[in-house]
Amino acid sequence: MKTASYVLAGLLGLGGLIFLVGAVQGNTLTRIITGVVLIGAAILLSFLGRIKTPQPTVVQQIELPGDLHAEQLKCDACGATLDPESVSVKAGGIFVECPYCGTSYQIEEEPKW
C-alpha cells in the first residue's frame, strides 16, 4: 500500500519532469503548468504516504482478574482450556487464538468477569 503510493508518486514526478523538459524545448506554458501540477501531485502523494500512519498495533494483553477467567475460556473448536496468552484485544474486539488446534475467532458476547 505504502510502496504503491511511492511508486505512483515516482511515476507522477517522472511524468512531470518529462513535461517540464518538453516545456523547455517547446516553450509551452501549458506544458510547464502540467509538469508543475504533476510534480506537485507527486510531492503531495509521497507526503501523504509518509504521514499516513500505519495501523497502530492495538494488540494488548487483557488484564485478567486472576486465573479464574482463563479457566472459564475454552476453545470453541476443540474445547481446550485457553491460557491468557492466547487471548488478545484487537480493535475493540476480543480475539482468541487456540494454541492447540490453531483456530482463531472473535468472542462476540461480553466476557463475564
- Applying CB under 5 A, the residues found at the interface with Zn ion are 75, 77-78, 80, 98, 100-101, 103
Separation CA 100–CA 104 (nearest Å): 11
> Distance between CA 46 and CA 3 in Å, rounded?
10
Which residue matches cell numbers 482450556?
Answer: 81
Report the residue number, 36 or 69, with the smaller CB distance to Zn ion: 69
Amino acid at 107: I
Q: How far is CA 48 from the centre of its chain?
A: 14
Minimum gap (Å) between residue 101 Cβ and Zn ion: 3
Query: Whose Cβ is closer to Zn ion: residue 30's or residue 72's?
Result: 72
Please state the closest distance from residue 83 (CB atom) to Zn ion, in A: 12
Nearer to Zn ion by C-beta: 34 or 86?
86
Side chain identity, residue 65: P
Three-state secondary structure call for residue 84: helix
**Between 10 and 102, CB nearer to Zn ion:** 102
**Which 3 state secondary structure label does DSSP give 11?**
helix
| Shortest distance in whole angstroms from residue 113 CB to Zn ion | 21
Least separation, in Å, of the C-beta of 100 and Zn ion? 5
